[in-house]
Amino acid sequence: MASDHEQNRPPSVGKVGRSSGEISSEHQPLINGTHSSESYSVSSAILPFLFPAFGGLLYGYDIGATSCATISIESATLSGISWYDLSSVEIGLITSGSLYGALIGSVLAFTIADFLGRRRELITASILYLVGALVTALSPNLAVMVIGRFVYGIGIGLAMHSAPIYIAETAPSQIRGQLISLKEFFIVLGMVAGYGIGSLLVETVAGWRYMYGASTPLAVITGIGMWWLPASPRWLLLRAIQGKGNMQELRETAICCLCRLRGQYISESASEQVDEILTELSYVGEEKEATLGELFHGKCLKALIIGAGLVLFQQITGQPSVLYYAASIFQSAGFSAASDATRVSILLGLLKLIMTGVAVVVVDRLGRRPLLLGGVSVMVSPFTFIICTKAEILS
C-alpha cells in the first residue's frame, strides 16, 4: 500500500529513477534553471525584500555605531558612567561581543532553521536585536553591556542566515539576483547610518547609550513586517515533501502565500508554479546526500578550499577590524577631536557604499571572478605601497 505521503503527492510530482540516473523531460527545465516566466507585481515584491533586508541594515548599523560608541564610552566627561576607564581588552569585548554572538547564532541556525522556517527565524532575530540593543543601551556596568552585545550578535547570526534565503525563495526569478545583491548594499547602508548617527551623538553625554538604542525602532519594524509577511512557499512545500504536514493543506497554503507575494498578476498561474516547485523539491529529495568525508575529496575539496580561502583572506586582511575601529583609528592618525574622527568615518562608509552599489550594478554583466580579482588587486596595492615605503625608510 502506498504511503500517505505518496498518495497526497500531486500528479505533477513524479519520481526520478535512481537506477538509470535519467531525468525525465519535465525535470530538465528546472535543472537547467529555465522556469516558465513568472508574473509579478513590482509593488508586491518590495516588502518581501525590504523587511528581511532591514535585518542586514541592523547588522551594518551595529558596526558603525560601535565604532563611535567606543570613543564615547571612554570619555571621562561624556560617557556618563563611572566605569569609563576601560582597558583595551575590555573595549575589545564590547566590540567583539556581537561577533561572538553571531558565531553562536550561525551555529544555532543550522539546527533550528528548517524547524522555524525563514519567516519565524527573522522574527526571532528581530526580537534578539531589540532585546540586545535595549540591554546594551541601559547597561549599568560592563558585564551587562557585553551580555547585551552578545544577545544582539545572536540576532545577527540568525538574520544573516535567514534573510538571503527568504529573499531568494520569495523573489521573482527575473529580479532575484539583484535583490540578493541589494541585501549586501543594505548592510553597508547600515554602516553609513551608524557612522552618521554616532557622529551626531559622540559629543552628547552618555551618547553611546543613544547610539545603541537608536536601532530599536527598526528592530520593531522588522519584526512586525516579518510577522505580517507570509511564510516562504518553498519552505512550506519542503515540509510537505519531508512528510511534516498534510501535503494538500500545505500546497494550498503555499499557493495563498505565493499570491500574496506576487500580487494579483499571478492568481491564474500560482497553482502551476507551486507544482513546479514541488516537482523540483521531489527531484532534489531523491538525490543521495553527500557525507562529510566527501567534502575532502575530488572536486568538493577544491570548492571547499576556494570557498573557505575567500572567507579567510577577507577577514585576515583586517578589513572588518578597520570598520569597527574606524573612528579610533582616525583619532590616532591625527583627528584628535572625537567629532572630527567620526565625521571622517562617514566618508569611509560612503566610499564603501558607492563601491558596493557599483558592484551590485555591474556584477551580472562583468561576472563574479573579474570583480573579485579587481577588488583583491586594489586591496593589495596600498599594502604593497606601505611595505615598500617602510622598507625604504628603514634602509
Query: Tell me, what's the pLDDT at 287?
Result: 57
Query: Tell me, what's the pLDDT at 390?
Result: 64
Report residue 214 as a C-alpha cell: 537608536
User: Cα 320 to chain center, whole Å?
Assistant: 15
Q: What angle do CA 200, 50, 276 make, to 5 degrees?
A: 160
Q: How far is CA 170 from CA 149, 174, 221, in A?
A: 31, 12, 20
Q: How far is CA 394 from CA 78, 384, 385, 387, 389, in A?
A: 41, 15, 14, 11, 9
CA nearest to 137, candidates 187, 190, 62: 62
Query: Tell me, what's the pLDDT at 41?
Result: 65
SS3 110: helix
Q: What angle do CA 179, 165, 270 make, to 5 degrees?
A: 80
Q: For 272, phi and psi rounded to 5 degrees?
A: -65, -40
Positions in the chain whose pLDDT score sits under 50: 1-36
Query: Tell me, what's the pLDDT at 5?
Result: 41
Residues 110-138 pLDDT 10s:
888 888 889 999 999 999 999 999 999 99
Query: Tell me, what's the pLDDT at 126?
Result: 97
Query: Tell me, what's the pLDDT at 340?
Result: 84
Query: Tell me, what's the pLDDT at 19?
Result: 36
Q: What percent of the chain has pLDDT over 90?
A: 38
What span, in angstroms and rounded, lies between the C-alpha atoms of 341 and 210? 19
Query: Tell me, what's the pLDDT at 15?
Result: 40
